[in-house]
Amino acid sequence: MPSLIEKIFPHCCVSCSSTGPLFCSNCQNNIDFLYFEPQLTPLEKYSINLKIVGLYNPPLSTAIKAYKYQGLYKIAPIFAELLYKHLIFDKNIDIITSVPLHPTKKRLRGFDQTKLIAKELTNKISKPYHQLLTKTKHTQNLASTNNQKFRSKLTNKNFKLKKENQHKIAGKHILLIDDVVTTGHTLSACLGQIFLAKPSQVTVMAIAHQG
């Protein structure tokens, strides 16, 4: 049942402003869907499956910006449904995890946007979520620079595998969730830690690719 506030101020699509879901089906149908795996140099040293819903163009980019920067955390289930609907999930996935935010960034934003999406997926594919990684450095927003070397420097040694989680990864198929993949430097830093624990397989899924 909608609340009184929702009745007075009904939800509208963040992209087209139509009354209804925060990211409506018409706008979802207009996503620039990605039908190939982008070749990202920082990821070439890892044997992974990389699956991304679409390109970081409107209307998808509009919805992502609203989600991350306007605090519209209720879009998380919609993004999880996009992943579930448009990407193929292997049946042998053991654990879902996500690219973490630094605690300072999480306090400023109010929520960890990628973790919310990942946890929504647990109900769809009946697999457990574990926060395997922590972010150890609070860096500037990567969206503020396109310089590859600078991005690499910002993400280098930024993530750490929690010791108590190492035994959970060995021999397991890990699904790593991210929101936006750009150069691949952030994912590379995360994967470097995950592969230390010798998983059997790693699949990476993201909402969008910007590049």
Express each pLDDT in 153-190 by its tens digit: 555 578 999 888 888 899 999 999 999 999 999 999 99
- Of residues 143 and 90, the one with the higher pLDDT is 90
| Number of CB atoms found within 10 A of residue 48's CB | 18
- Better pLDDT: 106 or 83: 83
Under DSSP, the state recorded for 102 is P
CB burial of 183-202 (b: ≥16 within 10 Å; e: otherwise) equals bbbbbbbbbbbbbebebebb
CB atoms within 10 A of CB 111: 15
How confident is the model at residue 73, as a pLDDT?
Answer: 94
pLDDT at 151: 46
The CA-atom distances, in angstroms, between 36 and each of 48, 51, 87, 103 are 14, 8, 12, 34
Position 7 scores a pLDDT of 45
pLDDT tens, position by position, 42-76 = 999 999 999 999 999 999 999 999 999 999 999 99
Q: What is the pLDDT of residue 96?
A: 98
Helix, strand, or coil (residue 128): coil
- Number of helical (H) and strand (E) elements in the chain, helices listed first: 9, 6
pLDDT tens figures, 119-158: 999 999 999 999 999 999 766 555 545 555 544 455 557 8
Whether 101 and 109 have beta carbons less than 8 Å apart is answered as yes
pLDDT reading at 9 higher than 60? no
Of 107 and 202, the structure prediction assigns the larger pLDDT to 202
Reported in sequence order, the residue ranges of 86-193 that DSSP labels E, i.e. its strands, are 95-98, 133-135, 159-161, 173-181
Q: What b-and-e string marks burial along 156-177, b requiring 16 or more CB atoms within 10 Å of the CB?
A: eebbbbeeebeebbeebbbbbb
Binning pLDDT at 50, 70 and 90, where does residue 211 land?
confident
Q: How many whole angstroms separate alpha carbon 125 and alpha carbon 93?
A: 9
| Per-residue model confidence (pLDDT) at position 210 | 96
